[in-house]
Chains A and B, each alone.
Chain A
C-alpha cells in the first residue's frame, strides 16, 4: 500500500504540472489563437532562472518562485511583441510552427551550454524532511507542490472567471473588435495574456526543479503529454483544464503502480479512447 500511495503522490505532482501547463495553453489559445509549442521550453526556462538566481546571485527558492515567472513572462511578452503578433489573422497552424521553431532555438541554446544531464537544485530548508501520516510518509516539499499548484490554479480561475479584468479577457476572446470599440487596449491584453500563460509554465518549472532536477530537455516530453491533456479536456473551459490535468496525473500515477510498462503511454491511450467516444473532448465545444 505504501508504494501505491507514493505513486499516487507522484501522480498528483505530475498532475499539478499538467494542470499549470494546460491552463496556460488554454488561456493563450483563447486570446491568441495559438497553440504555444514553446510551452515546454519556457517551463524549462523557469527552472533554469531559479537555478541561476541561486547559483549566480545567491537568491533562494522563495524569491525565485516570484522572480522566475516574472522574468520568463517578460521574455514571453517580448516574443509576443516581436514575433507572434505578426501572425494575427493567419491560420492557427503558423502559430504552432513558429512556436515549435522557438522551442527548438531555446532548447538548443540551453543544450549547448548545459548538455543533457541534470543540474541539482536543493529543496529549501523550510520544506525539507517529511511527516508520517500514519498510512504513508509524506515528503513535505511534495505536499507543498500539490497544494501550492492547486492554489495558483484556483487563483487563475478566479482571476479569469470572477474579476473585472477576467471579464475583459473573456469578452476579448469572444469578440476582440467589439471590445476594442469600448476603448480597451486589446493588443496590450493579448501581450499580458501571453506573459501570464508563459509565467504559469515558468512557475511549474521552478516547482519541479527540486524534484526533477534542472535539465535543458525537461520540457520536451512534458509538452506532448500536455497536448494530449488538452485534447482530452478541451480548451474551452479553465476549470476543465485544471481538473483534467490533475486527473490525468493521478491516472498516470496509478498506472505506474498497477502496470508500470504502460505509464508512459496511458495518457495517449486515454486520448484515443476519448476521441473515439466524444471527439470534442470532455469539456470542449466543437472546434
Chain B
C-alpha cells in the first residue's frame, strides 16, 4: 500500500476535529434534503451505496484488503430481508436485523477462507466466492432466480413509522446510514483501527510486535461485511425488490469504483464517490451499454492519474485528514 499512503497525514486530535466538523456539515446537508425538492429516491439509493462503499473502504483503506466480492453482502442481506418481509411477514426492524445477520454470517464463513491469502490473491478469492454465491442464488428456489423477489411490503417500522411515506422512509434510511458511518468512524479512530493501519503498512512488523494479524483482519472483514449487509437490508425498502443484479461481479466493481473515485482510505471519499456514480447512472441511463464503457474509462483515468480520489486530493491540498 505504499503509494496510497505516501502522503497520508497521521491522525491527530486536530484531524479528528476536522472530521467531526465535516461530519456535522454532511449530516446537516442530508437532513434538509427532503425540504429541497431533490428526488428522494435518488438520495436514498445513493445513501445505501454510500454506506456500502464506506464498509468496503474500511477493509481496503484501513486494512489494505481489496475485496472484489462485496456485492455478495449487499445481495445476501437483500435476499434475507426481502424473504423475511414477504414470506415470513415480519416487521421492518426485524427484517433489517435478519438481513444484517445473514450478511454477518456470510462474512464469518467467507472471511475464514479469504483471509488465508493476502494482496492480489485476496481480491481473486473474494471475487470467486461472490461468483460461487451468485450461482447458488441463481439456482436456489427462494430467490426466484432471474425474477428476484418483487413487491416487498414496506410496513411500519416499530409499528409507528409508515415506510410507504417517502419522507419518513428517507429519514429512516438516513438514520441507518449515519449509524453505520459512525460505527466505521469510531472503528478507524479506535486502537483496533490503529492496529489495522499498522497491519496495512507492514504486516510482518505487526506480527513481530505480537499482534495476531489474522484475527484483526478477520474482525475487520466481518465488520465490513455486516455493515455492507445493513446497506443491503436498507436498500430493500427503497427498491422494494431483491434481485441477482445485486450479487453480480459488476456490482462489486461499482463498489470499488465509488470508493476509488471518492478516495481510498479517506473517511468521506466513499460517500462522495457513491453519490457521483449513482448520479452518473441516473443521468446516463439513456446511453445503454455506453455507461459500462464510461465506468471503465473512469476506472482507467482514476488509476492512472487520480489515485487519491476527490476527497483524497482535497485533503492533500489543504493538508487535512478527511
Q: Do A and B bind each other?
A: yes
Residues on A facing B (Cβ under 8 Å): 29, 35, 83, 86-87, 89-94, 96-98, 100-109, 111-112, 220-221, 224-225, 227-228, 230-231, 261, 264-265, 268-269, 271-272, 275-276, 279-280, 287
Of B1, B249, B291, B300, the most chain A CB neighbours within 10 A belong to: B300
Complex Cα–Cα for A265 and B297 (A): 31
Cβ contacts under 8 Å, B129 to chain A: 268, 272
Number of B interface residues at 8 Å Cβ cutoff, please give it.
46
- Quick one: given A264-B135, A275-B113, A276-B113, are A97 and B303 in contact (CB under 8 Å)? yes
A sample of 25 inter-chain contacts (CB < 8 A) reads A35-B120, A35-B123, A35-B124, A92-B120, A93-B66, A93-B119, A97-B299, A97-B302, A98-B304, A101-B303, A103-B296, A105-B293, A108-B290, A109-B293, A221-B131, A224-B127, A228-B128, A231-B125, A231-B128, A261-B139, A264-B135, A265-B132, A265-B136, A268-B128, A279-B117
From known contacts A98-B304, A101-B298, A231-B121, infer whether A91 and B293 are also in contact, taking CB-CB under 8 Å. no
**Chain A residues with CB below 8 A from B128, complex form:** 224, 227-228, 231, 268, 271
Is B282 at the interface (CB under 8 A from chain A)? no
Contact B295 A86 (CB under 8 A): no
Is B184 in contact with chain A by the CB < 8 A criterion? no
CB distance from A85 to the nearest CB of B (A): 11
Chain B residues whose CB sits within 8 angstroms of the CB of A105 once the complex forms: 292-293, 296-297, 300
Are the C-beta atoms of B295 and A104 separated by less than 8 Å? yes
Count chain A CB atoms within 10 A of each CB in B4, B121, B256, B288 and give the residue with the most: B121
CA separation between A264 and B303, bound complex, in Å? 32
A83 contacts which of B118, B289, B293, B300 (Cβ < 8 Å)? Answer: B300
* Bound-complex Cα distance A219 to B155 (A): 43
Write out the residue numbers on chain A whose beta carbons fall within 8 Å of the beta carbon of B1: 91
Bound together, the chains give a CA A94 to CA B299 distance in angstroms of 10
Add 14 more A-B contacts to A35-B120, A104-B295, A272-B129 (CB < 8 A).
A91-B2, A93-B119, A93-B120, A94-B303, A101-B297, A101-B300, A102-B299, A112-B288, A220-B249, A227-B124, A261-B139, A268-B128, A275-B116, A287-B118
Binding site for A on B (CB under 8 A): 1-4, 60, 66, 68, 113, 116-121, 123-125, 127-129, 131-132, 135-136, 138-139, 249, 253, 256, 260, 288-293, 295-300, 302-304, 307
Interface of B is mostly: helix
| Complex alpha-carbon distance, A91 and B2, angstroms | 7
Number of cross-chain contacts by CB at 8 Å: 130
Measured CB to CB, the nearest residue on chain B to A109 is: B293
Residues of B contacting A103 in the complex (Cβ-Cβ under 8 angstroms): 296
* Shortest Cβ distance from residue A37 to the other chain B in the assembled complex, whole angstroms: 9
Complex formed: what's the CA distance from A275 to B200 in Å? 22
Chain A residue at smallest Cβ distance from B305: A86
B293 adjacent to A98 (CB under 8 Å): no
* Pairwise interchain contact B292-A107, C-beta atoms closer than 8 A: yes
CA distance A91 to B132 in the complex (A): 27
Please determine whether A100 and B113 come into contact, CB atoms closer than 8 angstroms: no
Q: Give the chain B neighbours of A261 by CB distance below 8 A.
A: 139
Please give the distance in Å from B320's CB to the nearest CB on chain A: 24
Residue of B nearest to A96 (CB): B123
Closest A residue to B118 by CB, please name it. A287
- Which A residue's beta carbon lies closest to that of B114? A275
Given contacts A265-B132, A265-B135, A287 and B253 within 8 Å (CB-CB): no
A29 to B119 alpha-carbon distance, docked (Å) = 13
Report A230 CB to chain B, min CB distance, Å. 7
CB distance from A133 to the nearest CB of B (A): 33
Contact of A231 among B124, B139, B297 (CB under 8 A): B124
How far is the CB of B260 from the nearest CB of chain A, in Å? 7
Please name all residues of chain B whose beta carbon is closer than 8 Å to the beta carbon of A87 when the two chains form the complex: 303
Determine if A112 and B289 form an interchain contact, defined as CB atoms under 8 angstroms apart.
yes
How far apart sit A101 and B261, CA to CA, in the bound complex (Å)? 13
**A287 contacts which of B4, B120, B139 (Cβ < 8 Å)?**
B120
Q: In the complex the two chains form, what is the Cα distance from A199 to B139 in whole Å?
A: 35
Q: CB distance A269 to B132 under 8 Å?
A: yes
Shortest A252–chain B CB gap in Å is 12
CB contacts (< 8 Å) of B300 on chain A: these are 83, 98, 101-102, 105
Least Cβ distance of A29 to chain B in Å?
8
- Whether A268 touches B131, Cβ cut-off 8 Å, given contacts A35-B124, A103-B296, is yes
Check if B113 sits within 8 Å of A272, measured CB to CB: yes
